[in-house]
Amino acid sequence: MKIKNLLLISMIACSALTISAQTVGDNTFLQSDYVEVGINKGGVYVSDANAPETYHSQILVTTTWFIDSSTIDTVTYTYDYEWWSYHDSCTCYMIDSVTTETYTYVTWSYLIDSSTIDTITYTYDYEWWSYHDSCACWMVDSVTEESYTYVYFEYVTASDTLPSPLGMIYDSDMDGWDAGDPTEFWGDVSLPGSPEEGFGLEIDGNSYYNASQYLWLNDVDGDFTGYDDTGDTTRATWEGDVAGLHVKQETLVPDGKLYFYTRLTLTNTTGSDLSDVYYLRNVDPDQEQPWSWDFVTDNVVIYNNPADAQCLVSAEGNSIGGNYAMYGTRDERGRVSYGAFFTSDANPVSDAWNGVSPFNASGDQVGDIAIQVSFKVDELLASESATFTFAYIFSADSAVIEEALEGTKMVPVIEECLSATYFVADDITETSANISWTAGSADYLVEWRKVSTADWTGVVTTDVNHVIEGLEACTYYNYRVTTLCGDMIPSDAGTFKTVCATAIEDVAVLSTNIYPNPTTDNFTITIAQPAVADATITIADALGRVIYEKTVSGNNAYTENISLSTIASGIYTVKVVSGNNTSSTNLVIE
């Protein structure tokens, strides 16, 4: 097998890197310099709408033909269907080759007076369609035993280039979409023939599927919830629900790479614990077919769990060779396989993960068959989530494969871009104040000014708090926080007043100590405070909600043991106020 040798392919780096994401109808399209992906409304990697004109799925050309002294407009084949015939007693023709004033025709099998239909599969051999004399060409849309439905094509005139639907295409030479040998690019991986790509879920022993270009199986109702192309990775997010399981699918196409990632987050919304939850991804890889007209691939499992601590299955075009579609992951819950064809052939879904026939978890096979990657979540508690990532890889270069597989352990995360919320000013002294807020992005601009003045002073930080220093005592200040992404709209302005100067004996330092920190539930807080002063202890979550409050009394020191065994893991703020003095400390509950 060619892939077993993992022949190194020399890659040429390109400095002019671009990525973009676009939505057309119910479909989303992702584009980088070397990989383009179409996703339909079911989260399946093959669109049912034409890609935008800036994409490279534009392989169909139309023109105007002159036959028997009359103008005949050609028909653009848009991959919607595969079977062709003609209507009544006319003969349907395809223009095979054209010279000046000479036309060569190839006759297709046909339907005569409602007798048996002899269909022909379109094999992408040609791009030009027309009809002969005064007869009209029709396409058979659906066929039953004695009933035939015809779809009449829309005619287009003049020369034009039109995009087609899109699954996955890639420029393996990384030399531009209009250059390369033996082809400019490879693909479409999932579109040719009967487009088959999709996913399956097994929950409580029941299997659910979203699959195919037109979603003949659409058990998981969902929609796109957003996309982001502002960084070096473009992301489309699709979310759906089925049988008490929320499915979040993030498709991440990194810049300048010959792979992309799919990150799945499954959340249990049933209210009860789930066990043995399975996820399957399946594709019939045909990346060579548009160029060789051959649907056959050389399929081989290279690595698999648990023996190899990683998974990789490859499908290489069988006629020309040197073109690949692979699934890979380094998640210990993953398995890969080959066999079958349709996503729903895994019934139950767990058959693919377990390698039950017709699925094979090792070895190799040449054929027009599918490859799979599967995951098993042993236990998913109520309200808990499980996240895993796999890669679609389009290169046999060992460095590319290693990089892609390693990335499934730490796939790049595009930061959310949300406005700063729950921002507060605390630990206020005569000359300083601590500003804190809930995370919404990676970078923030913190600004402050005296009330009734015009100019702001600011500082950029990656933290979720900032201590403003050098302030004047007994003075009112405005402050605000801006997330440095998206529209960069500042938060509403808040106001605080610095502490007024007092006699030295009144400015005692309040000191607190928390241990252990982090903790799982119980911790001890020690407070060193001014004499005869009471202290109020409050604990708040990240949203500012108070979950614990107690006032204690002591002389110069006080120790309190606190139990938080019933609260969730996270970061909490422990605040102690004693007289005019305040102390604030983050507490981590694991």
Burial class (CB in 10 A: 0-12, 13-18, 19+), 454: exposed
pLDDT greater than 70 at residue 20: no
Hey, which CATH number is domain 506-589, 3.40.30.10, 3.40.640.10, 2.60.40.1930, 3.40.605.10?
2.60.40.1930
- Quote the pLDDT of residue 552: 82
Output 134 or 478, whichever has higher pLDDT. Answer: 478
- Quote the pLDDT of residue 227: 84
3-state secondary structure 393-452: ECCCCHHHHHHHHHHCCCCCCCCCCCCCEEEEEECCCCCCEEEEEECCCCCEEEEEEECC
- Quote the pLDDT of residue 529: 60
Strand partners, 212: none
- Quote the pLDDT of residue 564: 80
Ramachandran quadrant class, 69 (left: phi over 0; alpha: psi -120 to 50; beta: rest): left
CATH code for the structural domain at 2-51+172-407: 2.70.98
Question: Of 63-77, 116-130, 278-292, 327-341, which has the strongest mean pLDDT?
Answer: 327-341
Q: pLDDT tens across 330-373, in order?
A: 999 999 999 999 999 999 999 999 999 999 999 999 999 999 99
> Mean pLDDT over residues 11-16, rounded?
29
- Which amino acid, one-letter code, is at 543? L
- Dist. CA 151–CA 366, nearest whole Å: 36
pLDDT band of residue 30 (cuts 50, 70, 90) is very high
Question: CA of 523: how far to CAs of 431, 515, 555, 562, 575, in Å?
Answer: 32, 6, 22, 6, 14
Closest C-alpha to 142, from 167, 117, 108, 166 = 117
- Quote the pLDDT of residue 448: 93
Output 570 or 95, whichever has higher pLDDT. Answer: 570
pLDDT band of residue 421 (cuts 50, 70, 90) is low
Output 29 or 87, whichever has higher pLDDT. Answer: 29
Query: Which residues does 264 contact at the CB level (< 8 Å), separation at least 6?
Result: 247, 248, 249, 250, 279, 375, 387, 388, 389
Q: Do 2-51+172-407 and 421-497 share a fold?
A: no
- Which amino acid, one-letter code, is at 18? T
DSSP per residue over 238-274, as a string? EEEEETTEEEEEEEEEETT-SEEEEEEEEEE-SSS-E
> Mean pLDDT over residues 288-305, rounded?
92
DSSP 8-state code for residue 81: -
Residues in the chain, overall count:
590
- Quote the pLDDT of residue 149: 35
| Range scoring the smallest mean pLDDT among 11-15, 41-45, 169-173, 313-317 | 11-15
- Dist. CA 429–CA 474, nearest whole Å: 9
Q: b/e map of 56-91 (b: 16 or more CB within 10 Å)?
A: bbbebebbebeeeeeebbbbbbebeebebbbbeebe
- Dist. CA 10–CA 446, nearest whole Å: 47
- Dist. CA 460–CA 483, nearest whole Å: 10
pLDDT band of residue 269 (cuts 50, 70, 90) is very high
Output 299 or 551, whichever has higher pLDDT. Answer: 299
pLDDT greater than 90 at residue 526: no
> Mean pLDDT over residues 16-28, rounded?
66
Strand partners, 237: 226, 250
- Quote the pLDDT of residue 573: 81
- Dist. CA 429–CA 468, nearest whole Å: 10
Longest dimension (CA), the chain: 110
Three-state DSSP state, 350: helix
Chain position carrying tokens 């990384």: 174
- Quote the pLDDT of residue 561: 84
Report the chain's mean pLDDT, rounded to a whole number.
75
- Chain centre distance of CA 16: 24
- Dist. CA 434–CA 112, nearest whole Å: 85
> Mean pLDDT over residues 425-438, rounded?
87
Report phi then psi at 20, rounded to 5.
-160, 155
- Dist. CA 254–CA 251, nearest whole Å: 10
- Quote the pLDDT of residue 417: 67
Sheet with 334-338, edge to edge strand ranges: 217-218, 206-211, 197-203, 274-283, 371-380, 334-338
Chain position carrying tokens 């996503």: 343
Cis status, amide bond into 358, omega within 30 of 0: yes
Question: CA of 51: how far to CAs of 109, 262, 461, in Å?
Answer: 31, 20, 40
pLDDT greater than 50 at residue 7: no
- Quote the pLDDT of residue 116: 35
Hey, which CATH number is domain 421-497, 3.40.30.10, 2.60.40.10, 3.30.710.10, 3.30.56.10?
2.60.40.10
| Range scoring the smallest mean pLDDT among 116-130, 225-239, 417-431 | 116-130
Q: pLDDT tens across 61-88, in order?
A: 333 333 332 333 333 333 222 333 333 3
Per domain, the residue ranges of the chain are: 2-51+172-407, 60-161, 421-497, 506-589
- Quote the pLDDT of residue 511: 67
Burial class (CB in 10 A: 0-12, 13-18, 19+), 527: buried
Closest C-alpha to 313, from 3, 61, 542, 559 = 3
| Range scoring the smallest mean pLDDT among 95-99, 208-212, 537-541 | 95-99
Query: Which residues does 408 contact at the CB level (< 8 Å), separation at least 6?
Result: 261, 328, 329, 330, 331, 389, 390, 391
